[in-house]
Amino acid sequence: MAEKFEIVTKALQKMLEEKKYAALRDILLVMYPNDIAELFRDVEEEKIPLLFRLLPKELAAETFVEMEPEDQELLIRSFSDNELKEVVDELYVDDAAALVEEMPANVVKRILKQADPEMRRSINQILRYPENSAGSLMTTEYVSLRPEMTVEEAILRIRRQGIDKETIYTCYVTARDRTLLGLVTVKDLLLEQDDERKIEDIMLTNLISVNTLTDQEDVAKTLTKYDFLALPVVDGEGRMVGIVTFDDAMDVLEDETTEDMALMGGVTPSEKTYLRSSAFELFKNRIPWLMLLMVSATFTGLIITAFEGALAAQVALTAFIPMLMGTGGNSGSQSSVTVIRSLSLDELKFSDIGVVLWKELRTSILCGIALGVVCFVKIWLIDRMLMGNDSITLMVDAVVCLTLAVTVVCAKLVGCSLPMLAKALKLDPAVMASPFITTIVDALSLVVYFLFAQALLGV
C-alpha cells in the first residue's frame, strides 16, 4: 500500500510541476479525502492552495477535515471570504468545532463570521463543554424521530433530512421537550414489513447514553464495547443534545493508546506527530522525566557508597550489580505493562488487587527460582571456570543468585501494585510504568544484595 502511494505522489508532483491541472484534477476526483490530505503533506507549502482549488466543493471540505492543523491554517489564510464560507458550509458541526479549537484567535474570528447563524450557535454550544468531554466530541446533527410517527413517515423524514447528518443509520426518538425515549436503526425500519407500524412500537428503549460531561475515553470505550455506530449524548435533564459517532470514538481510543505508550516510555504525551515535532519540542517532552529519574538515582548511589567496604572486600560483587538491577527492572516492567494494559481494557479493577498480588507472587516465585538456578550454573561455568575469575567463590555465587530470586519477586509485586494504586487514586496507571518502577527496583535490589552479602559473606 505505502509503496503504491509513493508512486502516485511522485506522478502527481510531476504533473503539478508541468502544470497539467486538468489531468491532475481527474486523478484527485477519484481519490479519497484522506489520501489527498496525505498527499498535501508531501507537497511544497505554496502549492497547497492551488491543489486545493482543483477539488470540487464537497471533496474539498472532506479533505480539509483530514488535514494537519498547520496546513489548515495555511489554507484558511490563503482563502477569500467566499472560499472560506464554501468550505465551512460543507463541514459537519463537530469538525467545525474541532477546527475552531485548533486555530489561532484571528483565524477563528474569520471562520465564525463565515459560518451561518445556526452553525455558529452549534459550534459555540460544543465549545462550551470541557475539553475531552462527550459534549466537546459530539455533533449536534442527528436524525430525530417522534414516537407517534409511522415507519413510512420515519423513512420519509430520513430521506428529507439525511443529507447533512453525519449518520442516518441510528435515529433517535425524542419527546417534544427533546427527552430521549428510544432509538431505531435504519435496518429496523427497512426490515419492518408493516409500513403503518408506529415508531414507539418498534423502538429500542433500553438505551445506553452518555452525559455531556462524561470523559471522552469512557464514551469511546462504551461505543466500542457494544459495537454501536453512534451514542446519544444527553444533558443533566435527560434531554438529547447530540451524538458521538464511531469514527470519532476510534480516534479518541487511538490517541489514548498513544498517550499510554508515551507515558510507559517516560515521555510527556503530545498531540503532535513525531515527524511534526521539532527537536526542541521532543526535548521538552522528555527532559523532565529524565531529570526526575536521574536525581532519584541518587539513592542507589548512596546505597552503594554505604556499602563501599563490602564491595572493596569482595571485588567480584560489583560486576553483578548491572545484571541484578537489569533483571529486576525487566521483571518489574513485565508485570506493570501487563497490569496497565488490563486496566485500560477494563479487564481489571482495583478490587482485584488481592487476586493480582497472589498471581504475581506465584509467577514471580517460579521466575525467581528458574532465574536463580540458571544464573548460579552460568556464573560457575562461564564467569568462574571459562573466564577464570577466582574471586568468585561458591558463596559469592549464592549471594548473587539469592539476591536475583528475591529481587524478581519484589520487582513483580511492586510492578503490579503501583499501577493499581494509581488507578485507585484516579491517576493514569501508565505513569507507573517501567522508568518509575525501574528506579524503585534498582534501590531495592541493591539493599537486598548487600544484606545477603553481609549475612553470608560477613563483609
Cα–Cα distances in angstroms (integers) from residue 38 to residues 48, 64, 405, in the given order: 12, 11, 52
Q: Which is nearer to its own copies, 114 or 222 (CB)?
A: 222
Among 7, 22, 105, 345, binds its own copies (CB under 8 A): 345
107 binds its own copies (CB under 8 A): no
Stretch that binds its own copies, among 109-117, 119-127, 144-152, 430-438 (CB under 8 A): 430-438
Among 32, 148, 271, 313, binds its own copies (CB under 8 A): 32
189 vs 199: CA distance, rounded Å: 9
Between 69-78 and 93-102, two packed helices, what is the crossing angle to 10 degrees? 90
The answer to whether 168 touches 158, Cβ cutoff 8 Å, is yes
Please give the helix or strand (H or E) that residue 181 lies within, else none: strand 180-185
The answer to whether 374 touches 396, Cβ cutoff 8 Å, is no
Concatenate the DSSP letters of all residues of 210-263 into one string: EETTSBHHHHHHHHHHTT-SEEEEE-TTSBEEEEEEHHHHHHHHHHHHHHHHHH
105 binds its own copies (CB under 8 A): no
Q: Exposed, middle or buried: residue 206 (CB in 10 Å: 0-12, 13-18, 19+)?
A: exposed
Q: Which is nearer to its own copies, 47 or 362 (CB)?
A: 362
Which residues inside 119-148 make contact with its own copies, applying CB under 8 A? none
CB atoms within 10 A of CB 214: 20
Q: Which is nearer to its own copies, 114 or 331 (CB)?
A: 331
| Total of residues contacting its own copies (CB under 8 A) | 121
Between 246-264 and 216-225, two packed helices, what is the crossing angle to 10 degrees? 120
Stretch that binds its own copies, among 70-78, 96-104, 146-154, 349-357 (CB under 8 A): 349-357
Which residues inside 157-216 make contact with its own copies, applying CB under 8 A? 158-159, 162-163, 168-169, 186-187, 190-191, 193, 205-206, 208
Q: Which is nearer to its own copies, 124 or 257 (CB)?
A: 257
- Cβ 296 to its own copies shortest distance, Å: 9
Among 134, 403, 434, 449, binds its own copies (CB under 8 A): 434
Q: Which is nearer to its own copies, 21 or 169 (CB)?
A: 169
- Cβ 43 to its own copies shortest distance, Å: 17
427 binds its own copies (CB under 8 A): no
The answer to whether 421 touches 436, Cβ cutoff 8 Å, is no
- Cβ 20 to its own copies shortest distance, Å: 20
Stretch that binds its own copies, among 78-86, 134-142, 175-183, 298-306 (CB under 8 A): 298-306
Q: Which residues pair with 182 in a beta bridge?
A: 173
Among 73, 197, 389, 457, binds its own copies (CB under 8 A): 389
Among 11, 175, 315, 395, binds its own copies (CB under 8 A): 315
336 binds its own copies (CB under 8 A): yes
Cα–Cα distances in angstroms (integers) from residue 377 to residues 216, 311, 326, 374, in the given order: 53, 23, 19, 5
380 binds its own copies (CB under 8 A): no
Q: Which is nearer to its own copies, 67 or 76 (CB)?
A: 67
Which residues inside 396-415 make contact with its own copies, applying CB under 8 A? 404, 408
Sheet architecture: strand order including 180-185? 144-145, 170-174, 180-185
Q: Which is nearer to its own copies, 294 or 385 (CB)?
A: 294
Supply 340's cell numbers.
496497565
110 vs 229: CA distance, rounded Å: 33
280 binds its own copies (CB under 8 A): yes
The answer to whether 66 touches 37, Cβ cutoff 8 Å, is yes
Among 265, 421, 454, 458, binds its own copies (CB under 8 A): 265
Stretch that binds its own copies, among 69-77, 230-238, 379-387, 419-427 (CB under 8 A): 379-387
Among 67, 339, 405, 444, binds its own copies (CB under 8 A): 339
289 vs 205: CA distance, rounded Å: 49
Q: Which is nearer to its own copies, 55 or 111 (CB)?
A: 55
Angle at 137 between CA 113 and CA 277, to 5 degrees: 85
- Cβ 379 to its own copies shortest distance, Å: 9
Q: Which residues pair with 210 in a beta bridge?
A: 233
414 vs 404: CA distance, rounded Å: 15
3-state DSSP call for residue 174?
strand
363 binds its own copies (CB under 8 A): yes
323 binds its own copies (CB under 8 A): yes
342 binds its own copies (CB under 8 A): yes
Among 117, 176, 305, 354, binds its own copies (CB under 8 A): 305
237 binds its own copies (CB under 8 A): no
333 binds its own copies (CB under 8 A): yes
